[in-house]
């Protein structure tokens, strides 16, 4: 099992699944959510309408349509200002873990994550990266099908934070 850190546009990755940092409606939005919906085309929105949304910390899977990935795993991270710190931390860890469980359940070998909740949802980037790397490392100890987890950063700040965390461990 390997963890890869890359600075890239997640919509361009050819992996089994990319993770969408979605809102609870799953019907598109800003940031990575909007970029994924635009790149995937109208089929993704149509399928997402049938899912009846997604609760914070949970995950659902769809086809990827026009994306190079095979699937999109949609997860909803917490809005940092709406939760206690402990609950926000738990919900963010759940978003990563439940996405990984869904990949495992579907026999997927590779999955790429964006920086969940660090944009308009306001989660502090250092804390979010710590939770993300811990969640991924804890999961890979018992993974069977998931062989490669990509931590995909769009911006240089997140990339450096993850790089420092991964170098320490």
Predicted local confidence at residue 141, as pLDDT: 86
Please, which pLDDT band fits residue 3 given cuts at 50, 70 and 90?
very high
Please, which pLDDT band fits residue 50 given cuts at 50, 70 and 90?
very high
Mind listing the domains of the chain with CATH numbers?
2-168 (3.40.220.10)
Could you tell me the pTM of the whole model? 0.96
Are the C-beta atoms of 71 and 17 separated by less than 8 Å? yes
What share of the chain in percent tops pLDDT 90? 95
- The number of helices, as runs of H, and strands, as runs of E, in the chain is 5, 6
Over residues 6-17, mean pLDDT: 98
By the 10 Å C-beta count (0-12 exposed, 13-18 middle, 19+ buried), 30 is classed as exposed
Predicted local confidence at residue 1, as pLDDT: 79
Average pLDDT taken over every residue of the chain: 96
Beta bridge partners of 7: 153
Say which of 33, 89, 94, 155 is annotated catalytic.
33
- Is position 33 annotated as part of the catalytic site? yes
Predicted local confidence at residue 131, as pLDDT: 98
Predicted local confidence at residue 113, as pLDDT: 98
Please, which pLDDT band fits residue 155 given cuts at 50, 70 and 90?
very high
Predicted local confidence at residue 26, as pLDDT: 97
Over residues 95-113, mean pLDDT: 98
Over residues 133-157, mean pLDDT: 94
Best CA proximity match to 57, nearest among 76, 74, 33: 76
By the 10 Å C-beta count (0-12 exposed, 13-18 middle, 19+ buried), 141 is classed as exposed
CA torsion through residues 119, 122, 128, 132, sign: negative
> Does pLDDT of 159 surpass 90?
yes
Predicted local confidence at residue 98, as pLDDT: 98
Please, which pLDDT band fits residue 28 given cuts at 50, 70 and 90?
very high
Predicted local confidence at residue 142, as pLDDT: 87
């Amino acid at each position: 099992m390997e963890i890869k850190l890359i600075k890239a546009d997640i919509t361009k990755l050819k992996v089994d699944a990319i993770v969408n940092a979605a809102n609870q409606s799953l019907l598109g939005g800003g940031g990575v959510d909007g970029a994924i919906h635009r790149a995937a085309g109208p089929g993704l929105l149509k399928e997402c309408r049938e899912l009846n949304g997604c609760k914070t910390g949970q995950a659902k899977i769809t086809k990827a349509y026009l994306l190079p990935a095979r699937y999109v795993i949609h997860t909803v991270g917490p809005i940092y200002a709406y939760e206690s710190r402990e609950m926000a931390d738990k919900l963010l860890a759940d978003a990563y873990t439940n996405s990984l469980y869904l990949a495992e359940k579907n026999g997927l070998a590779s999955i790429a994550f964006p920086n969940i909740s660090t944009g308009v949802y306001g989660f502090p980037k250092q804390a979010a990266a710590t939770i993300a790397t811990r969640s991924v490392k804890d999961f890979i100890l018992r993974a069977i099908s998931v062989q490669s987890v990509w931590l995909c950063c769009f911006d240089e700040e997140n990339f450096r934070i993850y790089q420092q965390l991964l170098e320490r461990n």
